[in-house]
Amino acid sequence: MGLQDFMTVFSNLDPSCKGFVTSHQVLEFCQSIYHSSISVEQIEHAITQICGSTSSGRVSRQQFIAVLEEIERRRSVEEQAYWDFQALDYKGTNRISLKDALMMFREFHGDRFSLYTWKEFLQSRDDPGEQVYFDEIRLWLCNYPSGEPASKDQITQEEEQLIKIQSRHQSDTINKLKQIQDDKEEIQEYLDNAQYNAQRRRNKWDKQGLEAMLFDDGLEADDDTTSTKSKDTITMSDVNDAMTQKYDKLKSKLLWEMAKMSAAMESDRHEIFQQLCREEKQYSREGSLQDRIGGLSGSRLDLIATLTGLMGEVRSHDLKRKEQTEKKRETLRQQGMKEQDIDKAIQTEYQGVISGDTTCGASLINLIERFKLEKEETMMAVKSRASMSSVALENEYYRLLRQHLLLTDEWGFPALAMAVGLAERPQQYRSTKGNDWDRNRSEQLSQIQLEDRKGRKLQHTPADLVDSNKLDDLGLTDLKQHLIKEIVQKHFYEREAMINMLQGRESEQQKKKAHQMSSQERKKRLKVLRNQQISWSQSNSDDTQHLHQILTEAVALYCEVRREELLPTASIVTDNVVAECVLADLIQRQEVEYEASLEQFVSKQVKSDVIFLIKKENKMRIKEHFDNISFVALGTIEISAEDKDYVDALDVKYDTLRKNILRMGLEYKMGTEWKQLNEKERKKYIKEKEKEERKLRGLGQLQDMESLIGPKSKALPSLRQLIGEEKSEYEKRLKEQRKIGQNQEDEPPAEKFPHMNFLADLVPRYDNEQEAMLIWLKSTSTKQLPVKTQRLKIVLLKLETFCAQLEEDFEVSALSVGLIERLMAALQNRHPKDQSRQYDLAMRRTRLRLANLQQKEPTKKKEKSFTPEKGDLTGWQTAYLYEVMKRHYDEREQLLKYLQDESITELMEAASEMSADERKSRLAELQTKRRKLDLANSGDKEDYISILEEAVAISAIGRKSGRTSMEEVTVTTLRDLQDRQDRELAKLIQNIENVTEEQLETKLEEEKDARQQGTVHNVFDILTQTDDSVKEDELILSLEKKYSRLQDSLLSECLCQSCGKESWDKMAEKDKLVKLVHLKEQVKDMIQKGNYLCNSIFKFISLV
């Protein structure tokens, strides 16, 4: 780095151009460039040395380079001094004699060695005769000495003096010991103090880990007297320190495993462990560990696998091996080898990688080598991502912190090594052994954990709510560390709960029950339990016992599902094998969740965002939500941000239906009292009932939901009779009939399906519709569709919801929602059951309005309009279609208004005097007159009303024959209007994808104007229609079908020619259909743009 570069660094450190930088800024810069940490004391002494004692820790631009050079000199001296100190520490006590300390002073100060500086050092010590620690002398060795250089004679005299000081110190120590022996009270005090410290260190080991005990700071495990400065950034030095700590912890765990395995008695373990730590440290310092490893206690004892077998390869090497494996897999496929044989070949090859010496001694040597390799690979990985170095550093650092926390668990070394190894690399959920060797590790880890926990009581999480005040005092980095601790704790208690559900006494009955069920019964039951779990979560209930019952049953069912999946690959699948497989699924799921959480919180740069995540994880842990167990056992579906709009639209639809049911129940129970309530009071009652319903749904008490509705619902048809078959059933049946070229058949009788109550029946209907929708969203064919085509599903769901919102009567809303679910069938012919529903809907609407008239209750108009934002195409489509549906509502109201008005009798009497031909001719005249009117003109508006009244009367007489009642006339007329409105809406939806946002905005305003003017053209059309016009509609429909089939045949032939007949014939029907749909969309776009030239279209097809 040249002079210009250093000046650039100084400018970056001093953005406000003050002309100086502080010691803190210099420290941060040094930490970012050095791979080893450097103390703030060295920085401050370097600045004082160059800038003087009056600089107050400030460095000017002119002094900046000199300060950096001084820091580099000090760093180099300190590093060399550390290794020299270690060489002089013969006994591994982390201290050296005074004579050796003098020798180090002479070595590093050279010819400038001064007794004045040496005396200053001795005087600075609390006990001048005590042995010397490295921290005491490192600054003295780096500082320049003061005073005159010492002569050889002076040095010799000082050495002799030091011998006397040390002898006197030793003598004083022995005398003190003798005094203690003579004083029984002092002996007891000494023993009490020794016992206290032993217990304190044991507590420190249990609560803070082995490293905290080994490097004892003299504090209690719960003491929090350290005042660490809050951090907001991560440096390379932090990552290196975290990596070193990780391998130090792993080494300690391995040495403890060796002590545990080699000790004849449990009481000997601690002594053997301490001896192993001293010997390993000494041999490593001398560079003789590999030669002398066999002499360590337990080094020749075997672990269950090699270190690579336990932990796997470091991340970069593992990734390379997987890439090589995928290439080999593809090669073997091309050679015609079966997938099962390919898996075996790859597994055999990998066994060669992880085989080798399994002794503890070999694992210790490999662990040290692995540390060097991973450290080097991590540095290279971070440097290679220089453009995102801060993100890369944070990712590495927080992964390492999680590994530290995993090492605090009480498992033995093999289990801890596997857990850390899995945490090093991103995992796949429910991968197979054939293509993922980490799946084997997950199952081996599961086996160890299950075996270790047998017969143990379930551990519950402590109710340690986070302290918001303490969180506010932490820096951004410290907050993220706190978040990791919460996630790791949550995962630990999830595993504990899962192990209990797999082999606890409480689960035995559920496992037997699940084993006796059929596959289909288990699938249905899991759906019910999934709905209960979702409802429980949404209800914010504190009843965790109920959730545990749901999950215990779900785990038992899931075990049987996994058993069925494992049977094809093994002749016998024991309960233990199934349990290991299920727990391994949970472990992999937790790994996937942590990676997703890591990606989320690393990007957070605002403290409040991280605090929110901490509180969320803390609450989920304490309340024992066990979301990952739910995910594994219940198959809880993760809804992506892209899919959320679809699910939200579906939720609103079903919430509206539930609200209508509850309103019906309240109306029946409260009677006249309900009618006297205002809208705000009614909403309050409904809201209370909604809470009760959610609670019952969460508890799975579906039968009890009937109490929220009352006995009225028993007198009504079932939910399935009203709404019709489920969407997925209808679409499946329709698809099968189209395949064989059949017309639409009727749906299966509703009586064949079980019925409980309206609210209970909505639960499985919602589950099935949600599942079908998410399957559709994730299918390949859907993903190949344009986004605007996909999002039409949201528009349709919103229209179904709006149907339910327009009607207060539940029966009416249920019938209308069912018909709009199958709206596109209106373009052809609805099946008989839906035709019957259309009639029932018309009758219900007719009678409901008449009852309101008799009770003098005004019809309440429900307005729902909104103005979408620019660019929100789905919003504009929805707003436009809402306006159309509101016009349809007004049309129905206008028709019923005239048909149910007593004054129509006079007009009908006049019309009855006319012959059929005269009535037909008069209706045609009225239609012609109506088309010429301008409703913006008040005079024309009055004529419009008169024409409409006359048309209603003439049409009614035409329909009324013999004993036909006026109600029957009204119902059939309204049914025909509903049919026409459905066809209009279906055509609009069919073509709306090709309408631009600007066109939609114009159409929306036109619809608003039409409603304002009272335009009811659909009413006129059904009043003035004749047999000829009906036949004309049928003819147009037949022609549309004919030319649609011809277009499909032509485009299919074009695709065949384009792809080549041989390739086309080999292509799967599904792929052909995808290509055809895509091509039809392109042609539709060309026609929409006005490009009708055949040559242009066929030129386009030839390029496809």
Q: What is the mean pLDDT of residues 31-53?
A: 80
Which tens digits make up the pLDDT trace of 941-968? 788 888 888 888 888 888 877 677 889 9
Q: Report how far residue 794's alpha carbon sits from residue 5's, in angstroms, rounded to the nearest whole number.
A: 57
Weakest-pLDDT range from 642-646, 711-715, 954-958, 1003-1007:
711-715
Helix ranges restricted to H, 855-965? 873-899, 904-912, 916-932, 938-959
Which tens digits make up the pLDDT trace of 56-104? 788 888 888 888 888 889 888 888 888 888 888 887 777 888 888 888 9
Q: Report how far residue 924's alpha carbon sits from residue 931's, in angstroms, rounded to the nearest whole number.
A: 11
CA–CA distance from 615 to each of 432, 478, 489, 590, 628 (Å)? 35, 15, 13, 19, 18
Q: What is the mean pLDDT of residues 1004-1022?
A: 88
* Sign of the alpha-carbon torsion through 603, 606, 607, 611: negative
**Residue 262, pLDDT score:** 84
Per-residue buried b or exposed e for 804-842, using 16+ beta carbons within 10 Å of the residue's own CB: bbbbebbbbbbbbbbbbbbbbbbbeebbebbeebbbbbb
Considering only CA atoms, which of 367, 396, 422 is closest in space to residue 253? Answer: 367
Structure tokens at 915: 């012959």
Structure tokens at 686: 């409904």
Whether pLDDT at 204 is above 90: no
Whether pLDDT at 1094 is above 80: no
Q: Report how far residue 622's alpha carbon sits from residue 795's, in angstroms, rounded to the nearest whole number.
A: 40
In this prediction, residue 223 has a pLDDT band, given cuts at 50, 70 and 90, of very low
Structure tokens at 594: 């942590």
**Residue 859, pLDDT score:** 61
Structure tokens at 947: 């024409």
Q: Report how far residue 541's alpha carbon sits from residue 112's, in angstroms, rounded to the nearest whole number.
A: 76
In this prediction, residue 489 has a pLDDT band, given cuts at 50, 70 and 90, of very high
Whether pLDDT at 264 is above 80: no
3-state secondary structure of 461: coil
Position 483, amino acid: L
Neighbours of 125 (CB within 10 A): 13
Q: What angle do CA 509, 511, 512 make, to 5 degrees?
A: 65
Weakest-pLDDT range from 321-325, 531-535, 832-836:
531-535
Weakest-pLDDT range from 152-166, 482-496, 840-854, 998-1012:
152-166
3-state secondary structure of 20: strand
Structure tokens at 299: 């080094």
**Residue 1102, pLDDT score:** 44
Helix ranges restricted to H, 407-475? 413-424, 437-453, 468-473
Torsion, Cα 107 109 112 114, to 10 degrees, reads -90
Start-to-end CA distance of the chain, whole Å, equals 56
Which tens digits make up the pLDDT trace of 830-858? 888 999 999 999 999 999 999 888 877 66
Average pLDDT, the chain: 83
For residue 94, the 8-state DSSP code is: S
* Sign of the alpha-carbon torsion through 713, 715, 716, 717: positive
In this prediction, residue 1092 has a pLDDT band, given cuts at 50, 70 and 90, of very low
Q: Are the C-beta atoms of 512 and 748 separated by less than 8 Å?
A: no
* Sign of the alpha-carbon torsion through 567, 569, 572, 576: negative
Considering only CA atoms, which of 443, 447, 428, 433 is closest in space to residue 593? Answer: 428
**Residue 1042, pLDDT score:** 61
Q: Report how far residue 408's alpha carbon sits from residue 402's, in angstroms, rounded to the nearest whole number.
A: 10
Q: What angle do CA 960, 963, 968 make, to 5 degrees?
A: 55
Weakest-pLDDT range from 1-15, 291-305, 641-655:
1-15
Weakest-pLDDT range from 201-210, 339-348, 640-649, 711-720:
201-210
> Which residue bears the tokens 């288990």?
522
Contacts of 848 (CB under 8 A, 6+ apart): 809, 812
Which tens digits make up the pLDDT trace of 159-191? 888 888 877 877 777 776 666 566 666 566 666
Domains delineated in the chain: 3-184 (1.10.238), 637-715+724-822 (no CATH), 863-1025 (no CATH), 1036-1103 (no CATH)
Which tens digits make up the pLDDT trace of 17-33? 778 888 878 887 887 77
Q: What's the 3-state SS for 1009-1038?
A: HHHHHCCCHHHHHHHHCCHHHHHHHHHHHH
Whether pLDDT at 2 is above 70: no
Tell me which of 210 and 838 has the higher pLDDT.
838
Weakest-pLDDT range from 91-100, 305-314, 572-581, 820-829:
91-100
Contacts of 605 (CB under 8 A, 6+ apart): 476
Whether pLDDT at 757 is above 80: yes
Percent of the chain residues topping a pLDDT of 90: 28
**Residue 638, pLDDT score:** 63
Whether pLDDT at 240 is above 80: yes
